[in-house]
Amino acid sequence: MVSRNSPSLSKSRFAAGLQCLKRLYFECFSRDLADAVTPQQQALFDGGTVVGELARDRFGPGLLIAEPYFEHTVAVQHTKEAMENDEIRTLFEAAFSFEGINIRADILTKNDDGSLDLIEVKSSTSYKPEHLPDIAIQQYVIEGLGYFVRKAGLMHIDNTYVYAGGDYDLERLFTVEDASAQAQTYASSEARGQLTEMWNVLGSSTEPAIATGPHCTKPYVCSFYGHCHPAELPHAVNQLPSVSVKLLNNFKSAGIREISDIPTGFQGLTDRQLRVRDAVVTGKPYESGDLQTALNDVTYPIHFLDFETISPALPLYVGTRPYRQIPFQWSIHTLDSTGGLRHVEYLHNAADDPRETLALEMLEALDDRGSIVVYTGFEEARIKELADALPKHRGSLLDLCGRIFDLHKVLSANYYHPEFHGSWSIKSVLPALIPNLSYADLDIKDGTLASLSFGQMISPETSEEEKAQIRESLLAYCKRDTEAMVEIYRQLRTE
C-alpha cells in the first residue's frame, strides 16, 4: 500500500509499471535518465492533444477542468464542486485522487440515476489491449471515491470516415467502444494486485533488477530504452532478421550475445538468418547467384522514384480518410543506357490537395518508357491510391505499376553486407555500400521529419522566409533518397 513518502501514481505511471516496474521506478525517481523526446514523438503527443480537444465537441457542452497536471489539488477541488452541481452534466479532464493515484478523465458524463459514464479518448484507430488498464485505473479511482461508473469505454478515430469538407462530422469521425465489463473486472481484480506490486517497488530505495527484453518496446518503446541499452554490441543477435523471442531465449540460455558467436549447426535459424550469420562471421558480403540476373531485369531509361507523404489523423482533403498517406512530393532520377543521369522533382507548395498536380507532373516525368525503381512497396501502394482518387488518370497511373522494380525486394532476397546490421532499409544499406553518401549533411534526415516539415511549410503561421528554407530542405532530402537508390543500384550491378 502507499507509504508516506511514495510519489503519486497516474494513468501513465500505472501503464509504465505494467510494462516494466523498473520503468515505473525511473519515471518516478530518475526522469533525467529518459531518452530525449524526438520531434516525431512530440508531434504525436501534439496530434493526440488536438484529437482529444475535438473529441470533447462530440459530447459538449461540458465543463473543462482547465488546471494543468501540476495543479492537481486545485483541479480535484474544481471537479468536486462540478460533481456537486446538478447543472453540469459533462466534465472534461475531471480530476480525482484516491489512494495516492491521481487521474484526469478525458470525458465524464452524469446520468440521471447518479451514475457516471467514463470515456477515454485515443487517437488510435482501434481499441487495443493496452487501453484497458488506462480505463480500468480511472474506474478504480472514481469508484474508490464512492461514485458508480455505469459505462466505461474508449473513443477512437474511425478510419473508414471519409472527409466531406467543412466541419468534421464528429459522429462519423469518432467511434466509441464499450469496455464496461472488462474495465469493471480489471478494476476489481487485477488492478489491486498490480498496484500493491507498484507501491512496493516505489517504497524501495533501489531500482528493481529487471533485464532488458521484448517488453522494452512493447506495447510502447520505453522512454528509458537508451539508458538500459548502452552501446549495443555491433552485431548483437537481435539484429538477425525476423528473429523470434524463442530463438533469442535459446541464445540467452547458451550465453550467446553476438551473431559471430553462434556456432555452426545451432538449431532454429532460418536460411536467411544463416546467411546473415555467415556474412558476419566471415566479414564478407553474401551475394546470391541470382542477384545480377535480378538487377538486369530492367528497361532503360531507369527511373528511380521516391515519394514523401503526410498521414494526418484528421483528414485535410475532401475524399480522404484519417491517417491516409497523401503524397506531397516526389523525386525522380533517370538513368539512361549511356550512364547519363537526369533529375526532376515536385514539391507541392500550398495547403490545397496536392494529389492531382503531383500525379500529372509525375506521369509526365515518367513518360511511358523504362522501369520505375522504387525501394519497398510504398510507392506502388501510393500510386494505386492516386489511381482510385483520380478516376480521370486511373489508367495511366495503373500502367505505371506494371513498370515497377522493387530494389529493396531484390536486395533483401539476394544480398547482405555485415554492415547492414540486420536491416535492408535504405538508411542501413547506404552507409555500408556508399560510405561517402549519407544524410548527415541534411536538415531533414527521415520521412517522419519530412512529413512534419511539410505541415509546417503549408501552415499560414509560417513566415515566407521559413517556408523557403523548409522547401529547400525537403527538396534536398527527397533528392538524396533517389540519389541513394541510383548509387546502390550502380554499385551492385556488375554485369
Is 23 a binder of ligand SF4 (CB under 6 A)?
A: yes
Q: How far is the CB of 228 from ligand SF4 (least distance, A)?
A: 3
Q: Which of residues 213-232 bind ligand SF4 (CB under 6 A)?
A: 215-216, 222, 224-225, 228
Size of the site for ligand SF4 (CB under 6 A): 13
Q: How far is the CB of 489 from ligand SF4 (least distance, A)?
A: 38
Phi, psi at 201, each rounded to 5°? -65, -45
Contact assessment for residue 434 and residue 488, using Cβ atoms and an 8 Å cutoff: yes
Q: How far is the CB of 205 from ligand SF4 (least distance, A)?
A: 17
The rounded distance, in Å, linking the Cα atoms of 483 and 344 is 11
Q: How far is the CB of 445 from ligand SF4 (least distance, A)?
A: 24
Tell me whether residue 30 or residue 189 sits nearer to ligand SF4 (CB atom). Answer: 30
Tell me whether residue 225 or residue 323 sits nearer to ligand SF4 (CB atom). Answer: 225
The rounded distance, in Å, linking the Cα atoms of 74 and 154 is 27
| Dihedral Cα 277, 282, 285, 287, nearest 10 deg | -80
Q: How far is the CB of 99 from ligand SF4 (least distance, A)?
A: 24
Q: How far is the CB of 408 from ligand SF4 (least distance, A)?
A: 30
Q: How far is the CB of 221 from ligand SF4 (least distance, A)?
A: 9
Part of the chain binding ligand SF4 (CB under 6 A), chosen from 209-217, 295-303, 351-359, 403-411: 209-217
Tell me whether residue 210 or residue 274 sits nearer to ligand SF4 (CB atom). Answer: 210
Part of the chain binding ligand SF4 (CB under 6 A), chosen from 208-216, 276-284, 327-335, 486-494: 208-216
Tell me whether residue 230 or residue 460 sits nearer to ligand SF4 (CB atom). Answer: 230
Tell me whether residue 41 or residue 438 sits nearer to ligand SF4 (CB atom). Answer: 41
- Which amino acid type is present at position 162? V
Q: How far is the CB of 2 from ligand SF4 (least distance, A)?
A: 22
Tell me whether residue 215 or residue 471 sits nearer to ligand SF4 (CB atom). Answer: 215
Tell me whether residue 130 or residue 353 sits nearer to ligand SF4 (CB atom). Answer: 130
Tell me whether residue 13 or residue 72 sits nearer to ligand SF4 (CB atom). Answer: 13
- Which amino acid type is present at position 19? Q
Cell of 174: 469518432
Contact assessment for residue 335 and residue 301, using Cβ atoms and an 8 Å cutoff: yes
Tell me whether residue 22 or residue 303 sits nearer to ligand SF4 (CB atom). Answer: 22
Q: Which one of 200, 212, 292, 448 is in contact with ligand SF4 (CB under 6 A)?
A: 212
Q: How far is the CB of 342 from ligand SF4 (least distance, A)?
A: 47
Tell me whether residue 23 or residue 131 sits nearer to ligand SF4 (CB atom). Answer: 23
Is 13 a binder of ligand SF4 (CB under 6 A)?
A: no
Q: How far is the CB of 31 from ligand SF4 (least distance, A)?
A: 12
Part of the chain binding ligand SF4 (CB under 6 A), chosen from 59-67, 212-220, 331-339, 356-364: 212-220
Is 20 a binder of ligand SF4 (CB under 6 A)?
A: yes
Tell me whether residue 28 or residue 433 sits nearer to ligand SF4 (CB atom). Answer: 28
Q: Which residues contact 435 (CB under 8 A, 6 or more apart)?
A: none
Part of the chain binding ligand SF4 (CB under 6 A), chosen from 123-131, 210-218, 326-334, 379-387: 210-218
Q: Which of residues 26-85 bind ligand SF4 (CB under 6 A)?
A: 26
Q: Which one of 11, 22, 122, 277 is in contact with ligand SF4 (CB under 6 A)?
A: 22
Part of the chain binding ligand SF4 (CB under 6 A), chosen from 53-61, 207-215, 351-359, 452-460: 207-215
Tell me whether residue 207 or residue 258 sits nearer to ligand SF4 (CB atom). Answer: 207
3-state secondary structure the chain: CCCCCCCCEEHHHHHHHHHCHHHHHHHHHCHHHCCCCCHHHHHHHHHHHHHHHHHHHHHCCCEECCCCHHHHHHHHHHHHHHHHCCCCCEEEEEEEEECCEEEEEEEEEECCCCCEEEEEECCCCCCCCCHHHHHHHHHHHHHHCCCCEEEEEEEEECCCCCCCCCCCCHHHHEEEEECHHHHHHHHHCHHHHHHHHHHHHHCCCCCCCCCCCHHHCCCCCCCCHHHHCCCCCCCEHHHCCCCCHHHHHHHHHCCCCEHHHCCCCCCCCCHHHHHHHHHHHHCCCEECCCHHHHHCCCCCCEEEEEEEEECCCCCCCCCCCCCCCEEEEEEEEEECCCCCEEEEEEECCCCCCCHHHHHHHHHHHHCCCCCEEECCCHHHHHHHHHHHHCHHHHHHHHHHHCCEEEHHHHHHHHEECHHHCCCCCHHHHHHHHCCCCCCCCCCCCCHHHHHHHHHHHCCCCCCHHHHHHHHHHHHHHHHHHHHHHHHHHHHHCCC
Residues that bind ligand SF4 (CB under 6 A): 19-20, 22-23, 26, 210, 212, 215-216, 222, 224-225, 228
